[in-house]
């Protein structure tokens, strides 16, 4: 008979809880969110002996049931709510053999909730090396539980654990500790006020700041507040912790011994180097260099491949389906839109590969330790370093990475300033504009163009630090400023864990942010492909007439002339023996093909100008004109709000050149003449103005959505949008007016 049971994996951070989860479930897992909040919910299915099927939840890591963060509240809320569909039939508490004493604190709390609990002692492979001996049977007896000695690294003990879970009915649910002894009178009163409830549960509901059944919580609070004030409650909580440690110490005295002569060594040596006042920073800097190299250099190969594949797919679709609106939507809207999402996968995957390696190995805590004092004058914490670094790939995961910051003010500031760091979506915009307006040439052996790019990165980072400082002064948020970070032992990262993290994060990017980018690409495509004016409807005729009467656009005339000249040269050198008539024919054919292409491009461009989006661009032209942009750049700026990198693609459509011919886009942009002064549209002044605008403006709807989710209010994303974009406008305006 098959039976489904709920299993909750609970444990302190850094105990290898997730490794246990991965070993139990394999790839049969899914990651979602708890309703309404962004705490990650990991679930999986595991087949147990005797036909039992277990639904396993990997709960967020927590040191105790005394919550200090959203992630931790999730644990308490689930354990207190018997009606939750995920309420565990059995709790598996994962501990690390080296930190057993501290890890047991949480275990005793779970036991006291009268939930059947199994104790997993993980990293058993380290016992001999650390000189640890354990008396398992005695420990089981004292804690009233069953123990699985596991080594996820070696894959040992998982089957024992499965047996124990399947056998969960035989577990004792006797509590370990009588919490009421810390204040007998108080608990007696509680008991008589709520005779039906379990006192320890009541105690947790009273002391924890969780959303547990709001009405009931209020009722309990009202009924009990008169008895104990908050300060007194806090004192009781301290007392409870002391009591639990007494219990644990007494047990471990009999069951756990460490031979200190064996231990020491490796960790101390590594700590000495990695947190050294010089070497610590040098090593951190080198690691950053490798990460940047990976994100910008190594990922360019798969990205080029993806880019090409999607361009081909789009062309293939156009060629093989009957022409029409649907084919165009598919080829130009949907496939191009999906391509725009997929292209970021290599960078996101690399970023998470490194972040997960650094976290798994225990190095990240050392970075936090090194950087904390440096960040504090700006209202940031050492823990802000990770989001700020991640922000150079993409602000979305970076904003989510701020969750580890306990202090709300520091966390909020980090969230607000992270979008200033130069994310990968800005890169294509920077690259093409730098190539257009920054002269080639070298300064001290470094090219001006490379220097400009570096300056833009520094500018982004500097701006985030600067605005953090300003926010630190402005924001009047009182929050308890304490900072505790565990310095876990160094470990060789487990390949499986790293691979799962990279896979999961990439997947959630593709489905989360990807959906928005795709939707917007389609909307933009529709807006750019349809119009209601007569000009739009008769575009083909109008343009054909124009070509007949005044000829092709200046750019196209030039372009055709050059192409023909090159082609003619090639013909004469490659086929010196062929007769003049044949050559003439070839040239005519080539010329006709070029003319047809030019005609189609001009029609497309004319259509776009008179499409919905074209009118939108014309409408905002007065606003962007002082920055040195015409309506076409204006449209590109608007579409960039879907995702910045759309800028280049939009200009390609507007200037009616194929998306894949980067050289041509550049040439086309270089040839564009400003209608107001007959000078090139992309010059130093407008180029710098654009670069600065893109450096500062909040142009990413996905980021705004994530910020809304993380701060639980529209106030902060709205502030970001207004402040960042306003600032960008002013800076771009000043730059253009000075340089022009």
Partner 1 sequence: MSITVAQLKKGQRGIIKDFSEDTLPIKLLEMGCLPGNVVELIQIAPLKDPIYINVNGSHIAIRKSTANLIEVDLIE
Return residues touching partner 1 (CB under 8 A): 63-64, 66, 68, 98-99, 101-102, 105, 231, 234-235, 237-238, 241-242, 245, 268, 271-272, 275-277, 280-281, 365, 368-370, 372-374, 382, 480-489
Start-end of H helices in 134-278: 136-143, 158-166, 184-193, 199-207, 214-225, 230-255, 266-274
Determine the Cα–Cα distance for residues 659 and 281; give it in Å rounded to an integer: 43
Closest distance to partner 1 from the beta carbon of 491 (Å): 13
Which residues touch 668 (CB under 8 Å, ≥6 apart)?
A: 555, 655, 657
Closest distance to partner 1 from the beta carbon of 275 (Å): 5
> DSSP per residue over 423-442, as a string?
-TTHHHHHHHHHHHHSPP-E
Decide whether 274 or 608 has the Cβ nearer to partner 1. Answer: 274
Closest distance to partner 1 from the beta carbon of 195 (Å): 29
Closest distance to partner 1 from the beta carbon of 156 (Å): 24
Closest distance to partner 1 from the beta carbon of 522 (Å): 48
Decide whether 81 or 241 has the Cβ nearer to partner 1. Answer: 241
Decide whether 98 or 602 has the Cβ nearer to partner 1. Answer: 98
Decide whether 229 or 312 has the Cβ nearer to partner 1. Answer: 229
Decide whether 443 or 482 has the Cβ nearer to partner 1. Answer: 482
Handedness of CA 358, 361, 362, 367 (dihedral sign): negative
Q: Are strands 90-96 and 132-134 parallel, antiparallel or unpaired?
A: unpaired
Closest distance to partner 1 from the beta carbon of 365 (Å): 7
Structure tokens at 717: 């994303």
Decide whether 87 or 408 has the Cβ nearer to partner 1. Answer: 408
Output the CA–CA distances (angstroms, integers) from residue 381 to 324, 376, 482, in the order listed: 56, 6, 10
Closest distance to partner 1 from the beta carbon of 257 (Å): 13
Buried b / exposed e over 637-675, threshold 16 CB at 10 Å, is bbbbbbbbbbbbbbbbbbbbbebeebeebbbbbebbeee
Q: Are strands 117-122 and 52-58 parallel, antiparallel or unpaired?
A: unpaired
Closest distance to partner 1 from the beta carbon of 631 (Å): 52
| Distant-in-sequence contacts of 202-209, Cβ < 8 A, 24+ apart | 203/179, 204/65, 204/76, 204/80, 204/113, 205/80, 206/233, 207/66, 207/233, 207/236, 207/237, 208/65, 208/66, 208/67, 208/73, 208/76, 209/67, 209/73
Please report, in angstroms and rounded to a whole number, the separation of the first and last CA atoms in the chain: 80
Closest distance to partner 1 from the beta carbon of 158 (Å): 26
What region does 645 belong to: left with phi over 0, alpha with psi -120 to 50, or beta? Answer: alpha
Decide whether 231 or 573 has the Cβ nearer to partner 1. Answer: 231
Decide whether 27 or 268 has the Cβ nearer to partner 1. Answer: 268
Closest distance to partner 1 from the beta carbon of 249 (Å): 9
Decide whether 95 or 650 has the Cβ nearer to partner 1. Answer: 95
Buried b / exposed e over 282-300, threshold 16 CB at 10 Å, is ebbeebeeebeebbbeebe
Decide whether 246 or 713 has the Cβ nearer to partner 1. Answer: 246
């Amino acid at each position: 008979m098959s039976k489904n049971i709920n299993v909750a994996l609970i444990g302190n951070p850094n105990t290898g809880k997730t490794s246990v989860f991965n070993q139990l479930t394999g790839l049969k897992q899914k990651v979602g969110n708890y309703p309404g909040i962004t705490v990650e919910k990991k679930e999986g299915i595991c087949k147990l002996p005797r036909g039992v099927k277990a639904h396993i939840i990997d709960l967020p890591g927590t040191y105790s049931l005394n919550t200090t963060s959203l992630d931790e509240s999730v644990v308490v809320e689930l354990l207190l709510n018997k009606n939750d569909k995920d309420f565990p039939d059995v709790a598996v508490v994962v501990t690390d053999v080296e930190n057993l004493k501290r890890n047991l604190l949480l275990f005793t709390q779970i036991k006291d909730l009268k939930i059947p609990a199994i104790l997993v002692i993980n990293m058993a492979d380290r016992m001999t090396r650390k000189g640890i001996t354990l008396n398992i049977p005695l420990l089981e007896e004292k804690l009233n539980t069953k123990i699985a000695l596991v080594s996820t690294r070696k894959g040992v003990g998982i089957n024992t654990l499965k047996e124990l879970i399947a056998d969960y009915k035989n577990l004792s649910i006797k509590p370990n500790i009588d919490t009421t002894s810390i204040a007998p009178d108080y608990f007696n009163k509680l008991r008589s006020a709520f005779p039906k409830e379990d006192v320890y549960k009541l105690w947790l509901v009273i002391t924890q700041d969780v959303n547990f059944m709001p009405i009931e919580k209020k009722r309990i609070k009202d009924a009990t507040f008169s008895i104990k004030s908050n300060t007194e409650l806090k004192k009781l909580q301290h007392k409870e912790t002391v009591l639990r440690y007494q219990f644990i110490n007494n047990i471990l005295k009999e069951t756990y011994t460490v031979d200190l002569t064996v231990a020491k060594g490796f960790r101390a040596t590594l700590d000495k180097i990695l947190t050294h006042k010089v070497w610590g920073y040098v090593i951190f800097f080198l690691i950053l260099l490798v990460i940047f190299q990976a994100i910008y250099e190594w990922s360019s190969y798969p990205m080029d491949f993806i880019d090409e594949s999607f361009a081909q797919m789009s062309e293939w679709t156009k060629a093989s389906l009957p022409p029409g609106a649907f084919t165009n939507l598919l080829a130009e809207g949907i496939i191009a839109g999906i391509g725009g999402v997929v292209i970021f996968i290599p960078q996101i995957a690399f970023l998470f590969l490194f972040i997960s390696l650094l976290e798994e190995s225990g190095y990240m805590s050392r970075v936090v330790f090194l950087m904390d004092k440096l960040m504090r004058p700006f209202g940031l914490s050492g823990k802000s370093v990770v989001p700020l670094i991640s922000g150079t790939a993409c602000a979305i995961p970076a904003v989510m990475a701020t969750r580890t910051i306990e202090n709300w003010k520091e966390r909020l500031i980090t969230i607000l300033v992270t979008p200033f760091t130069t994310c990968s979506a800005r890169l294509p915009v920077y690259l093409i504009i730098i190539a257009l307006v920054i002269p080639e040439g070298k300064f001290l052996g470094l090219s001006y163009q490379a220097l400009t790019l570096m300056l833009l990165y520094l500018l982004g980072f500097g701006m985030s630090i600067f605005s953090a400082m300003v926010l630190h002064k402005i924001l009047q948020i009182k929050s308890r400023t304490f900072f505790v970070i565990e310095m876990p032992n160094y470990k060789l990262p487990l390949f499986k864990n790293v691979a799962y993290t990279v896979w999961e994060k990439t997947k959630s990017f593709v489905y989360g942010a990807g959906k928005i980018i795709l939707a917007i690409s389609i909307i933009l495509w529709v807006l750019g492909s349809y119009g209601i004016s007569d000009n739009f409807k008769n575009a083909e005729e109008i343009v054909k007439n124009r070509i007949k009467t005044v000829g092709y656009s200046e750019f196209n005339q030039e372009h055709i002339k050059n192409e023909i000249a090159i082609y003619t040269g090639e013909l004469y050198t490659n086929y010196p023996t062929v007769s003049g008539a044949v050559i003439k024919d070839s040239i005519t054919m080539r010329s006709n093909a070029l003319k047809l292409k030019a005609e189609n491009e001009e029609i497309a461009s004319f259509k776009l100008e008179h499409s919905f989006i074209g009118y939108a661009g014309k409408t905002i032209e007065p606003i962007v004109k002082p920055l040195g942009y015409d309506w076409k750049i204006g449209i590109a700026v608007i579409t960039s709000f879907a995702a910045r990198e759309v800028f280049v693609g939009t200009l390609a459509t507007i200037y009616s050149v194929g998306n894949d011919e980067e050289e041509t886009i550049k040439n086309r942009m270089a040839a564009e003449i400003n209608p107001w002064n007959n000078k090139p549209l992309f010059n130093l002044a407008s180029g710098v103005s654009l670069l600065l605008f893109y450096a500062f403006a909040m142009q990413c709807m996905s980021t705004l959505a994530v910020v809304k989710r993380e701060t639980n209010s529209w106030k902060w994303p709205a502030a970001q949008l207004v402040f960042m974009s306003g600032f960008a406008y002013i800076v771009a305006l000043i730059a253009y007016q000075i340089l022009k």
